[in-house]
Chains A and B, each alone.
Chain A
Amino acid sequence: DVKVTQSSRYLVKRTGEKVFLECVQDMDHENMFWYRQDPGLGLRLIYFSYDVKMKEKGDIPEGYSVSREKKERFSLILESASTNQTSMYLCASSFRTRGADTQYFGPGTRLTVL
Chain B
Amino acid sequence: AQTVTQSQPEMSVQEAETVTLSCTYDTSENNYYLFWYKQPPSRQMILVIRQEAYKQQNATENRFSVNFQKAAKSFSLKISDSQLGDTAMYFCAFMKHSNAGGTSYGKLTFGQGTILTVHP
Binding site for B on A (CB under 8 A): 4, 30-31, 33, 35, 40-45, 48, 50-51, 54, 56, 58, 90, 94, 96-108
Contacts and interface: CB of A to CB of B under 8 A. Distances in A.
Given A40-B112, A41-B112, A50 B105 contact: yes
Chain B, interface SS category: strand
Contacts, number: 67
A72 B97 CA distance: 22
Interface in B91-120: 91, 95, 97, 100-101, 103-113
Counting chain B residues whose Cβ lies within 8 A of the other chain, the interface size class is: 20 to 34
Given A56-B100, A107-B43, A48 B105 contact: yes
Interface string B1-39: 000101001000000000000000000000001010100
Contacts of B50: 100, 102
B44 interface: yes
Given A96-B103, A100-B33, A101-B106, A42 B111 contact: yes
Contacts of B84: none
Contacts of A104: 47
Contacts of A105: 37, 44-46
Given A40-B112, A105-B45, A96 B9 contact: no
A108 B37 CA distance: 15
Contacts of A96: 103-105
10 contacts: A30-B103, A35-B110, A43-B108, A50-B105, A96-B104, A100-B50, A100-B106, A101-B95, A103-B106, A104-B47
B52 interface: yes
Given A42-B110, A42-B112, A42-B113, A102 B47 contact: yes
Interface of B: 4, 6, 9, 33, 35, 37, 43-47, 50, 52, 91, 95, 97, 100-101, 103-113
Nearest to B52: A100
A45 B35 CA distance: 16
